[in-house]
Amino acid sequence: MRAHAARAAWAAVGLAAVVAAWQALHDLARLPDRVLPAPATILASAAARSSSLACAAWTTAAEGMAGMAAGIAVGMLLAFAASLWPRAARIAAPILVVSQTIPLIAVAPLMVIWMGFSITSKIVVVAVFTAFPVALALLRGINLTPGALTDPLAVAGASRAWIMIHARLPWAHAHLFSGIRIAATYAFASAATAEFMGAKRGLGVFLLSAQASFRTDLVFAGAGTLVVMTLLLYGLVGAAEALTYRRRLPSPRGKATEGEDLAPGPIALENIAKTYDSSRGAIRALRGATLAVSAGRIAAVVGPSGCGKSTLIRIVAGLEAPDSASEARVKGRSCGALMPQSDSLAPWLCVRDNVAIPLVLAGTSKEDARNAAQAALEDLGLGGFASHRPEELSGGMRARIAFARTMLTPARAILLDEPFGALDALTRATACDWLAGVLHENPRTTVIVTHDILEAVQLADEVHVMSERPGRVTRSIPIDLPRPRGAETRRLKRFHDLCARVEDALTTPDGRTTNEGTPCH
């Protein structure tokens, strides 16, 4: 708020300087009022005609505000429809673009012909020219919502509508209001221009009357009134943006299901194939991939970059479908919890509410969800940061918070896609030790995708090695290290033997291991 006030103050100072320079120029050059009236003359003329000017301003303000409100509503509906139904976007986009190429001076007469001199025609004109920036800005914001934010919600069972309201729309909030700001600059000017074509009152009529009588001072008074009205509307839009910025935990979705069976469940993929289309043809990400994880076991998936590890875990999560021709079988992907490799925390919520999201999504009351989230944060030693925003925390802290949220999700299986990929080596090792302890104390069926061999061996009961693209599992190596596993585990000779086996499986074409004792670096 202080920054906004400072910017407004500087803007006022700049405007005052311009007016003072204008007055000085008029006095020194002795310009006639018909050419350039002095600011003092304009103010005096506006005061003398204040009654008619106020009536005209009120009419234009009503037309502009109503038209802008209609334009915002239409623009938002178009953006929602385009995001939910891409085919609708392809149909609507050309119409929106064409609507903006038609000059206002051509649209206004048509509205007058069709609707007469009533206020309705002016409202429609304003709506036509304010809907486009709102639709375009909101659609861009919705499309820029990161999958790391929406994917865990979808895997946890959130509907498309819930995700739209509670994730995509808050993320697109700034984009939406950038479009509304542009619309605000169009609203009153469009209404006044429409009044030029036919109206009984309004600032457009006031300006035409002043022009006909060669009253330059009144033209400036009417134009200045339009500018002041637009600045006030712009300020109102800024206030509305601040007031509507979502900072609250969503309300529970339905009621919590009592006694729901959330015992760890098995995961099984058989003969999975996945092909993506690209500008250079089809790309086969997976071919004949098979993965089996018993209930309550931890599996790590390792492989070279681009081999399809993330595609595999997205198929397990239900975010991707295997090729229909692959004769695939997928089991155990319902009721899961996903932690993607990118930062998945909602920036508009505090840490505690971020952790509580999966519980309210499952129907838990806000109070109970926040209490459970606070307890989870206390267990992580992060209770003092519950009211902080995610951007105020380090990468390691955000990763632990994201994992705490994943563990609180009512789920039979946990899917971790490069959970610590963005951390430095020291923080990564510390986080890995912490995760190993959490998984030991709270056993769940878990699949961990990683490119770090040491991390895979420390965390997993079995490491599955994938080949180059198109990826498939070429080797499954059981890990027989004692639990719990921490920093001391990485000093065991057996740990390094197992790392060497995984490394050999990664570096030999057929996945066979040849080295049983070389330490892994």
436 is written with which tokens? 């190993």
State whether the Cα torsion 101-104-105-107 is positive or negative. positive
**pLDDT-derived band of residue 305, with 50, 70 and 90 as boundaries?**
confident
Query: Are 473 and 291 a contacting pair, CB within 8 Å?
Result: yes
What is the per-residue pLDDT across 317-352, written as a single tens digit (0 to 9) for each?
888 888 865 544 455 545 678 998 887 899 999 999
**pLDDT-derived band of residue 514, with 50, 70 and 90 as boundaries?**
very low
Mean pLDDT (whole number) for 143-152 = 92
* CA torsion, ordered 174, 180, 184, 186, to nearest 10 deg: 130
What is the per-residue pLDDT across 253-282, written as a single tens digit (0 to 9) for each?
766 555 455 667 788 888 889 998 877 888
Backbone φ and ψ for 49, nearest 5 degrees, come out as: -110, 30
Evaluate if residue 244 carries a pLDDT over 60.
Answer: yes
pLDDT of residue 520: 39
Evaluate if residue 515 carries a pLDDT over 60.
Answer: no
CATH superfamily of 49-244: MetI-like (1.10.3720.10)
Pairing of strands 267-278, 413-417: unpaired
- pTM of the complete model beyond 0.75: yes
Query: Are 257 and 232 a contacting pair, CB within 8 Å?
Result: no
pLDDT of residue 509: 60
- State the residue for tokens 């009961």: 461
How far is 205 from 453, CA to CA, in rounded Å?
A: 76
> H/E/C letters for each residue in 122-153?
HHHHHHHHHHHHHHHHHHHHHHCCCHHHHHHH
pLDDT of residue 110: 67
- State which of 21-30, 35-44, 152-161, 195-204 shows the largest mean pLDDT: 152-161
Query: Are 243 and 235 a contacting pair, CB within 8 Å?
Result: no
Evaluate if residue 161 carries a pLDDT over 60.
Answer: yes
**pLDDT-derived band of residue 477, with 50, 70 and 90 as boundaries?**
very high
pLDDT of residue 105: 64
The widest CA-to-CA distance across the chain, in whole angstroms, is 99
**pLDDT-derived band of residue 54, with 50, 70 and 90 as boundaries?**
very high
Nearest-5° angle of CA 434, CA 484, CA 480?
120
What is the per-residue pLDDT across 394-422, written as a single tens digit (0 to 9) for each?
888 888 898 889 888 888 889 999 887 76
pLDDT of residue 247: 77
How far is 359 from 351, CA to CA, in rounded Å?
A: 14
> What is the residue-averaged pLDDT of the chain?
84
Per-residue burial over 103-122, b if 16 or more Cβ lie within 10 Å, else e, is ebeebbeebbeeeeeebebb
Query: Are 150 and 317 a contacting pair, CB within 8 Å?
Result: no
pLDDT of residue 260: 54
DSSP 164: I
**Arch. (CATH architecture) of 263-269+291-305+412-521:** 3-Layer(aba) Sandwich (3.40)
% pLDDT > 90, the chain: 37
pLDDT of residue 245: 83
- State the residue for tokens 């949220």: 405
Per-residue burial over 81-96, b if 16 or more Cβ lie within 10 Å, else e, is bbbeeeeebeebeeeb
Mean pLDDT (whole number) for 62-79 = 94
Query: Are 327 and 361 a contacting pair, CB within 8 Å?
Result: no
How far is 264 from 280, CA to CA, in rounded Å?
A: 42
% pLDDT > 70, the chain: 87
What is the per-residue pLDDT across 446-472, written as a single tens digit (0 to 9) for each?
999 998 899 999 999 999 999 998 889
How far is 488 from 269, CA to CA, in rounded Å?
A: 34
pLDDT of residue 111: 67
